[in-house]
Amino acid sequence: MTDELDTTVYYDDDANSEHITDKTVAVLGYGSQGHAHAQNLDESGVDVVVGLREDSASRDAARADGLRVATATEAAAQADVVSMLVPDTVQPTVYEQVEDELDAGDTLQFAHGFNVHYGQIEPPEEVDVTMIAPKSPGHLVRRNYENDEGTPGLLAVYRNASGEAKQEALAYAKALGCTRAGVVETTFREETETDLFGEQAVLCGGVTELIKMGYETLVDAGYSPEMAYFECLNEMKLIVDLMYEGGLSEMWDSVSYTAEYGGLTRGEMIVDESTRENMEQVLEEVQNGEFAREWITENRAGRPAYRQRRLAEKDHEIEEVGEQLRELFAWADDEQTESNATDDPEKATADD
């Protein structure tokens, strides 16, 4: 355990498996994260029951993996720990199905704090509320476990009614394989707000807009769509991999002096103080709940704006050019396999 970075990171030696191996865990959902949690817990000696709709196509897959399957209500009735791994958008509905099965001393667990933080789910006072969030797509959580490797994760305790919520959460994280790599302690608020901000301002929203604008700038200037695609999208993976492996310095040390000087002197012309001001606005809307209210309303209306924007994104020229180019190269199949996975239960399967 270390506090060097003003945070707390837990490892295998900090977790006592006895806090989870004598309990039954209901894993609700069997998508990206659900299948990994259920299988890893099961192989770590935890009694697992998977909660799925009676008409869910995932039931056969869970049974084929050697797991017990029941409805969400039935699974929660059997469980000491209920792990909510269905999409954020349907969690409140599923919670209504299991709420009456939560007894004093039970635990309601999440992999993302959205619904608790924004008041869409209000667990009973006598129930522990925790979060274990592997910071990786579910298929990698599973693969790392099978390879005796770890997946970094987050731990948060929203309510400690029993007095042992943190110890149980750590034991759960160990059973997933997360404490092999390290589990960072945080809060539901911090995890939710930083996650939403990162997705919107940088990882998903910011990066895709930067790529599209770069592509459009080159094409509008008369350069070929193929070259624009390679320079603004394809090579993004090379740069991100370097930053992932060793931070910004690793990337700067690996590119040419020309690229480094150009990036250091011209990058701030693109992402300037006006960008920071816009980011602060995005963060404010996350913090004050405006984004959450907007997204909840959008879902209740059947997601009309979401569908329109998604179609517009698919229709962008860069998507057509990229699809054609990827078919020409040998690495396309391998990268497509990796890109189909996600760490968000929302995009797991429709059968969650």
pLDDT in tens, 168-197: 999 999 999 999 999 999 999 999 999 999
Label residue 64 by pLDDT band (50, 70, 90): very high
Label residue 334 by pLDDT band (50, 70, 90): low
Mean pLDDT of 345-349: 45
Q: Which one of the listed residues 19, 35, 37, 112 is annotated catalytic? A: 112
Q: How far apart are CA 130 and CA 156, in angstroms?
A: 6
112 annotated active-site = yes
Q: pLDDT tens-digit profile of 144-162?
A: 999 999 999 999 999 999 9
Q: pLDDT tens-digit profile of 300-312?
A: 999 999 999 999 9
- The C-alpha angle 184, 127, 74, rounded to 5 degrees, equals 105
Model-level pTM?
0.89
Residue 344 has pLDDT above 70, yes or no: no
Among the listed residues 127, 181, 128, 129, the one whose alpha carbon sits nearest the alpha carbon of residue 154: 181
Question: Across-strand partners of 139?
Answer: none
Residue 164: helix, strand or coil by DSSP? coil
Alpha-helical runs (H) found in the chain: 18-21, 32-43, 58-64, 72-78, 91-98, 114-117, 138-146, 165-176, 178-181, 188-197, 205-220, 225-229, 236-254, 257-270, 273-287, 290-300, 304-314, 317-326, 332-339
Residue 47: helix, strand or coil by DSSP? strand
